Each structure stands twice: as structure tokens, then as C-alpha cells.
Amino acid sequence: MTETTPVHLVSLGCARNDVDSEELAARLEAGGFRLVDEAENAEAVLVNTCGFIEAAKLDSINTLMAAADLKEQGSARAVVAVGCMAERYGTELAEELPEADAVLGFDSYADIDERLRAILDGARPAAHVPRDRRTLLPLSPVDRQAAAQQQAAPPKESPEVTGSIANTGARVLRRRLGSGPMAPLKLASGCDRRCAFCAIPAFRGAYLSRRPEEIVAEARWLVDHGVREVFLVSENSSSYGKDLGDLRSLEKLLGELSAVEGLDWIRVSYLQPAETRPDLVKAICSTDKVVPYFDLSFQHASNPVLRRMRRFGDPDSFLGLIDQVRGLAPTAGIRSNVILGFPGETEQDVQVLSDFLSAARLDAIGVFGYSDEEGTEAAGMGDKVDPDEVEARRAAVADLAAELVDQRAEERIGESVRVLVEEIDEEGRLLGRAAHQGPEVDGCSELVGSSAAVGTFVSGTVVASEGVDLIVEVTR
């Protein structure tokens, strides 16, 4: 094997996984591997899997099988599973998919280059044995930073592993796998919440914030690599700083990021409504470069359902939060996800949710049907809703949500917007996103009357809508 052994990395799932993939890419490149864009040109294929919902798990398995086919054809020598599904299922995944040469958990990331080199040399490491990662850090959030520092492994040197803040020594461990003007930037890992339907805390671990200087250094590095917008991601962004001894850490961080030269937009994802305090709302709405965008995880609106979910809220409190946002930023983007068919949900609960969505005027709504996730509290609950009824409720609310977000898009006709140009599609249309549109899931803005380059910003007026998408006539 030469120092330029080609490896292909497939990133599945959420933006948090994309950041992990770029860390893996940096470690592999620093360890002497060469990243290639096509699996057919690689000697090793790493699949960063998603293990959140059934559709994502199936996608992960199909991707691993496709990589195994390349191995059968002789173009690849090794197939390795990493990521959430590998961490969550480990040995079970290895038994079900013997075609994979290794199933590695998160603890393998620090020396992934050495592990991959050994696999290519014929080693077959034991599959990762899953465990509850919440036990790996102290129970008290304020004790976690020191413990995490002791566990951390220093990165190898690499031309791509660069970036620092003066006088801090903060370093960046990342290698971009794309070239778009937006990039996710991880705030934290793990989650301390105990939502009854969610398995993520068990395999992602307890909540651990990244140090502010590390985040700012990475933002500067991303700007140097063509990024104009950073999308702050974590399992729960509103908890940022709880282990740093300052609950206003996120507000302060937004101010520090706003000072990064060359960065134009800062967007925060995944806020828990119960933790979205007034000062944070004000900071998002008023800090320079931070777009007024609120990804609020409501999940439902019926108080009895939310209590069984081990969450908090009701229509009045949620609508009060939305009113607070729009009082400060009338054109703010607000999105959410909801779950239908949770154990014990009644038709009256569904009506409460439907009424709330109608009143909320959200810009984007993800609608999901409940299904049992092994290892969760909800999986052992009684009073289950029949699967056919779950799907019927999901479909009905999804239809309502589609109608509501279309109406919200229509309300924006005549609005002045600033748009980040992201691509020219196959039809030659210039596409981008306005400030209220999050990456990939919130629709896009088609620009007319402009030939602006990808990565630039243009201003215009919304002249029409097509579903959730907007048509924007560029003025400058």
C-alpha cells in the first residue's frame, strides 16, 4: 500500500454526521490516504451511517451493500461501517452484514487512519460492542470538560488540518468534502434530555459543548475555504454552554462569530422550545450576521401527549414563543417537526395539534409517524396506536402541513429578501436561499433577472411562490 491509497467516504443522515465525516476525512488525509469522489476509484469505502429512523437505517444498509458489491467486483478492497448505526448496533450490524470488513464505533475515529490501514492489510477487528455512552462522562455537566480533555487524542499534522485563533492554540480538524457556500459547524455533541421516543442520547452520549475558541477558529477556517454561511448544529443547541458554566454561552458565541471577517450568515439549528429563553430569542433576532431563523422542536402540541413524551409545552406556550419571535423579527423563519401516533394519542390530541399548526403559520413542517425505537421508554408503553391509524393520522396532518406552508410562502409575496446563491440547476435556474430558509429542508428561492455567481448574495423581492419555494426578482 502506498501513501496515496484512495478512499471514498459516504456521509448519510443529518448535518451533524456531515461534520463528523469531514473530521474523518481530515484524519484519513493526515494519515496518508487520498480522498476520492467516486467509490469505483477507491480501494476502501467508509460509510458514515445514520441510525435514527427506519428509513435512514435502510439507506445505510443499502449503501453498505452497494459498497460490498464493488468489493465483489474487485474495485474495492475494504468496506467499513462507521457512524450512528455502527455505534448503536455494532455487533448486530456486523452479524447481519458480514460483507463489511469492519464495524467501528465513535471511539475509533481518533486513529481511523491506522485502523483502516490495518484492515487493508488483512486485519478483521472485532465489531464495536454498543454501550450506553451517557455513562462515559460525569453526571454533572460542569465536570465534563476536564474529563473530555483527558479522553481526547491530538490530531496528526496535515495541510488541511489548519486554522487557529491568535493566542489560543485552537486548532481545526476538518477537510471539506463539498464546495458550497454553506457549511454545518458543530456546537456540541450528545444530549441530556430523556424524550421517551428518542434513542440518540444512549448512543451519542451526554451533552458536551465545544469550547468557543474552537468553534470560532473553525468558522474562520471555513471562511478561508469558501464558506459564507455557517449552520450551527448539535442535538440540542439551546443547551450550549451548560457544561461551560455559563447559560448565556450561546448568546456570547453568536457575538464572537459575528466578528469573523468574511462570514455573512450565522444560522442556529435545533432549539428546544422549553429552553429557548427570551435573551436567546433576542440575540438571534438582533445580533449582526445571525439570521432570524428558529428551528423549534415542538414534536406535538397536546399537553398530555407531550407529558408522555417527557417533553414540556402546550399550544398557548408555543404560540407565545412564536409571538415573541415575530414581535422582534416579523419575517423570521420558523420551522418544526411533529410526531403523529405516539402511544396514547387520541383523535382529540390530533385536533389540538392541527389547530396549533394552523395558528402558528410555520415556514416548514416535518411530519412523521411514530414507530417503536428499541431501547426507548416509549417502546415499552401500552396504549399503542394501530400502525394503519398512525399512517392515516400522519398523512392527514402532512396534507394540512403542506397546505399551511404553501400559504405561508404566499404571504411572503412582496417581501424584500436577501438570498445566498447556491447553485445553477440542470434547467439553468439560479437557486439560493433567503434568510428564513434553512439548508435542504425549507425550500429554496429561484432568482430571476440575475446572473450572480454561486456563493454571492443578491437582494430582491418575492414575486411569486410555488409550494414552499419562492420566486425572487433580483433588484441588486
Q: Label residue 158 exposed, middle or buried (CB < 10 Å: 0-12, 13-18, 19+).
A: middle
Number of residues assigned to the chain:
476
Name the grid cell of 167: 493566542
Burial string for 166-199 (b: 16+ CB within 10 Å, else e) reads: eeeebbbbbbbbeebbbbbbbbbbbbbbebbbbb
Q: How far apart are CA 268 and CA 333, in angstroms?
A: 11
Tell me if 101 sits within 8 A of 137, measured CB to CB: no
- The answer to the question of whether 50 is labelled as a binding residue is yes
β-bridge mates for residue 465, sequence order:
470
Angle (CA) 180 286 442, round 5°: 40
Tell me if 227 sits within 8 A of 182, measured CB to CB: yes
- The answer to the question of whether 198 is labelled as a binding residue is yes
Among residues 159, 160, 153, the alpha carbon closest in space to that of 108 is found at 153
Among residues 366, 347, 471, the alpha carbon closest in space to that of 55 is found at 366
- The answer to the question of whether 84 is labelled as a binding residue is yes
A 10 A CB-CB count for 336 gives 25
Contacts of 175 (CB under 8 A, 6+ apart): 22, 25, 26, 29, 35, 158, 160, 161
Q: How far apart are CA 76 and CA 282, in angstroms?
A: 52
What distances in angstroms separate CA 112 from CA 46, 103, 118, 249, one per listed residue? Answer: 10, 12, 10, 32
3-state secondary structure (DSSP) of residue 239: helix
- The answer to the question of whether 285 is labelled as a binding residue is no
Q: Which residues are annotated as a binding site for [4Fe-4S] cluster?
A: 14, 50, 84, 191, 195, 198
Q: Which residues are annotated as a binding site?
A: 14, 50, 84, 191, 195, 198
